[in-house]
Amino acid sequence: MRFRYLAALVAAVLPLISCGGLTDPSQNKTDTFTGTITPVSLGGTGQDSKPFNVGNGGEYTVTVTSMTPNFNNYFEVILSLGCGGGVVQQNALAIVGGQALSGPVYQTGAYCVTIIDAYNAMTVAENYTITVSHP
């Protein structure tokens, strides 16, 4: 019985060792993305996505650092595996300047961060800047 638990533990840890282990958050890469969210009411999709790649396990954070013109309402931020893939984490109450998402990364590869005007609160096209810190 103990052998099964040991085998499961080894199977879970082995990929981390083979990929170089976990990255210390102080060694993370920071990607800065800019884009525009055009509200549905103005003929847009009400969202925008940015793809990026994660090369190691560790921790990530996502922050929307600015929106122009100034936007003082809630919006949604989603982290997914690839654009259109499974949701890793989402926050439907994100605000400009606040940390929107954070957590561990266990799987390397393609990820995508999406900002959505989930409450149809945007009345004009919003230009945004977002930072993603990841291993």
All structural domains of the chain? 22-134 (2.60.120.380)
Peptide bond into 69 cis (omega under 30): yes
Which pLDDT value is given to residue 23?
72
Average pLDDT over residues 71-88: 95
- pLDDT(110) > 90: yes
Residue 62: both structure tokens together: 């996502």
Nearest 10 degrees: CA dihedral of 21, 25, 26, 31? 110
Q: Using the 8-state DSSP alphabet, how is residue 47 labeled?
A: E
Instruction: Quickly tell me which residue has 């959505």 as its tokens.
Output: 116
Are the CB atoms for 78 and 89 separated by under 8 Å? yes
User: What is the overall mean pLDDT for the chain?
Assistant: 88
Q: Which residue type does 83 have?
A: C
pLDDT beyond 70 at 81: yes
pTM recorded for the entire structure: 0.81
